[in-house]
Amino acid sequence: MPGDARVGTRNLRALVLAAGYGTRLRPLTDDLPKPLLPVLGAPLLARTLDVLTAVGSSATAINLHHRAEAIPAAFGDRHRGMPLVYSREEPILGTSGAFVPLRDFFAGADTVLLVNGDSLCDWPLAELLARHRRRGAVATMLLAGRPDPRPFGGGIGIDRGGRVTAIRSEPTFGPVVRRHVYAGAYALSPRLLDRLPPGFSDSMNDLFPPVLAAGERIDALVTWRPWHDLGTPARYLDALRDLARREGPHGYRGEGARVEADADVRDAVLERDSSVGAGASVEASLVMPGARVGARSRLRRVVVGPDAAVPPESEWSAALLTRWHAAATTLPGSRREGDLLVTPF
């Protein structure tokens, strides 16, 4: 994970959003929250917490709802020495409403940092914090420069100097020179937390537009580092393939992963304790922990869920394959085939 230098000795505290259902990733997320999805041998959340530790967060809060017990069970009360505080929500409070039960936690902090727990990014948080403190804005958003903003509601509009002038398509609060995708992190002046009403609220609808309407400054840092939204099985697959290619030319094989000598594995991610049988072909695919690909099977652009068993001599493409059980979530287009639930993507 890329390292960010610590940002001074000021009192920084962070919130990681981890309460969501991960609906579009079901049934993968039936049994675990999306921040616990494996990413090259470690939970996605561990990568985020590593960077928060590196930039000197004095403590980090994590909000919880779906499978609320799973993250505390995985991480306990500290990560690399950084204290962790859990905020259980019932019902879900939204991306800014999550701050309300944590007002005491953020009391005394000079800077608040929010990070989405379900995005995969080489988070440039030190740069974000430095820009926020240098320019004196009440908030500074991290924006991803590469993705097309149109599928993301029009993205965030900025002027020539990097000041935010539009949240999604409308309304605008000044000239829009460029539009980029919100990358899932922002730094915030703690005084903005006093604006938040009790109950549900959303940062992009309920927090930032009134701030801009009041004439206050929100800045942006545009990053060209790799950024992935893991919202669907296809995006999750592509994100891990991209990360694996950047870490080595031959894909990724986790601890305990086994590949028979005559199997053909290309541009693939094999998580821990997975296996690929004799004569199988696995291309541009993800085989999750404990999953087994049967002999002479052929997979292309497939995600094989944890502990699923792909039958020998079967052929699959553009699909999520998970273990079938009576409580599994079935999405439109999914079907049962033997012991597998097949969800095309």
Last residue of a domain, one of 197, 228, 259: 228
List of residues 6+ apart from 175 with CB closer than 8 A: 159, 160, 165
3-state secondary structure at position 316: strand
Pair 237, 223 in one domain? no
Judge whether 251 lies within some domain.
yes
Query: Token pair for residue 178?
Result: 């460029």
CA distance 341 to 323: 6
Phi-psi region of 188 (alpha: psi -120 to 50; beta: other; left: phi over 0): beta
Please report, for the domain that includes residue 252, its CATH number.
2.160.10
Pair 268, 221 in one domain? no
Residue 6 has pLDDT above 70, yes or no: no
Pair 86, 212 in one domain? yes
Judge whether 4 lies within some domain.
no
Residue 28 has pLDDT above 70, yes or no: yes
| Terminal Cα distance for the chain, rounded | 29
Closest CA to 20 of 60, 67, 52, 61: 67
Pair 244, 211 in one domain? no
Query: Token pair for residue 17?
Result: 């959003």
Under 8 Å between Cβ of 20 and 34? yes
Residue 7 has pLDDT above 60, yes or no: no
Residue 136 has pLDDT above 60, yes or no: yes
Strand 78-79 to strand 164-167: parallel, antiparallel, or no bridges (unpaired)? unpaired
- The predicted model gives 241-254 an average pLDDT of 86
Residue 247 has pLDDT above 80, yes or no: no
Under 8 Å between Cβ of 163 and 172? no
Pair 66, 145 in one domain? yes
Judge whether 16 lies within some domain.
yes
Judge whether 203 lies within some domain.
yes
Pair 34, 99 in one domain? yes
Angle at CA of residue 272, ends 268 and 276, nearest 5°: 55
- The predicted model gives 256-274 an average pLDDT of 96
Pair 215, 269 in one domain? no
Judge whether 6 lies within some domain.
no
Residue type, 198: P
CA distance 138 to 47: 27
Position 246 scores a pLDDT of 83
Last residue of a domain, one of 228, 263, 287: 228
Pair 238, 223 in one domain? no
Under 8 Å between Cβ of 144 and 183? yes
* Confidence bin at 166 (pLDDT 50/70/90): very high
Pair 165, 269 in one domain? no
Pair 200, 110 in one domain? yes
List of residues 6+ apart from 174 with CB closer than 8 A: 159, 163, 165
Residue 4 has pLDDT above 80, yes or no: no
Residue type, 191: R
Q: What percent of the chain has pLDDT over 70?
A: 96
Judge whether 2 lies within some domain.
no
Residue 145 has pLDDT above 60, yes or no: yes
Judge whether 197 lies within some domain.
yes
Residue 8 has pLDDT above 60, yes or no: no
The phi, psi pair for 107, rounded to 5°, reads -60, 130
Residue 306 has pLDDT above 60, yes or no: yes
Pair 178, 36 in one domain? yes
Share the mean pLDDT of the chain. 93
Residue 1 has pLDDT above 60, yes or no: no
3-state helix, strand, coil in the chain (%, to 5): 25, 35, 45
- The predicted model gives 35-49 an average pLDDT of 96
Please report, for the domain that includes residue 156, its CATH number.
3.90.550.10
DSSP letter string, 105-160: HHTT-SEEEEEETTEEE---HHHHHHHHHHHT-SEEEEEESSS-SGGGTT-EEE-T
Domain that holds residue 314: 233-344
Position 251 scores a pLDDT of 87
Instruction: Return the H-helix or E-strand segment holding 162.
Output: none
Pair 218, 274 in one domain? no
Residue 39 pairs with which residues in a beta bridge?
42
Position 169 scores a pLDDT of 76
Most confident of 73-77, 147-151, 174-178, 242-246: 73-77
Domain count, the chain: 2
Judge whether 7 lies within some domain.
no
Residue 17 has pLDDT above 50, yes or no: yes
Last residue of a domain, one of 172, 207, 228: 228
Q: Does the model's pTM come out above 0.85?
A: yes
Residue 61 has pLDDT above 60, yes or no: yes
